[in-house]
Structure 1
Amino acid sequence: MFEAGDIREWRGHDVVDADARKIGKLESIYVDTATDAPSFATVTVGMPTRHRLVFVPLAGALVGPGYLKVTYPKNQVKGAPSIDVDGVLPAEDEEAIFAHYDLSYRPGAEGERRLARR
């Protein structure tokens, strides 16, 4: 895996799937609040006049020259829960993001959110 500080330097670079198909541009990183490790990225997708940010897990992701390669297929990522480019992720929407990728979701011990933007 890579350090959160390192991956932030890749903002604006291409995000591609395992078959090197471009999904969009890296917008931001969300860390797991329990570990502070990079957990999800948001990717800018959509038409030039209607962009949105979709979430993709970073588990197994690789950084290459000018791109971030994720392990999920392009169609699955583009169909993921999204927010507006200037929006924020509501805490109650976190579980749907995990469910989209068949990942288990548990909020913090006190019910706090699981993802934080860095």
Structure 2
Amino acid sequence: MFPAENLRDWSGQKVIDPDGDKVGELEAVYVDTSTDEPAFVTVKVGLLGKRLVFVPVDGATVTPNAVRVRYPKKLVHEAPSIDPDGELTGAEEPKVFAHYDLPYTATTVGERRLGRR
């Protein structure tokens, strides 16, 4: 396994948890707008991938057939989600970070911290 450096190339691939359980399918990458570095991915979960949940990419690795995240499937499935056609609002951002016990620092007024790439 090696660090997941260019996650954009893995769109549509399987996402697994530390135990190798399938979490879902990688849909998109969200970057931290202050650094332009990948911060979260959205993963299609549920019947027919009708929900997109947010998963931090910190510590993610790539195997020959999947992206392995460091969070267990159950925690990921309970994460804040959006509809496949939805958008993460600025008001929802802190909830995504809080779900994974990650620190959240707001940007200037009116700006979001996460941006989809």
Report if TM-score (shorter chain) is over 0.5: yes
Cα distance, 1:111 vs structure 2: 5.0
Using the alignment, how far apart are the partners of 2:23 and 2:59 within structure 1? 16
Identity %: 53
- Calculate the TM-score normalised by the size of structure 1: 0.92
Cα distance, 1:66 vs structure 2: 2.3
Cα distance, 1:14 vs structure 2: 0.3
Give the match for residue 114 of structure 2. Answer: 115
CA contact (8 A) 2:12 2:25 kept: yes
**DSSP 3-state at the match of 2:91:** helix
The count of aligned residue pairs is 115
Give the match for residue 26 of structure 2. Answer: 26
5+ long unaligned stretches in structure 2: none
**DSSP 3-state at the match of 1:27:** strand
Give the match for residue 59 of structure 2. Answer: 60
* CA RMSD after TM alignment: 1.3
- Calculate the TM-score normalised by the size of structure 2: 0.93
Give the match for residue 42 of structure 2. Answer: 42
CA contact (8 A) 1:10 1:66 kept: no
1:64-105, Cα deviation, whole Å (9 max, x unpaired): 112100000000000000000111111110000000000110
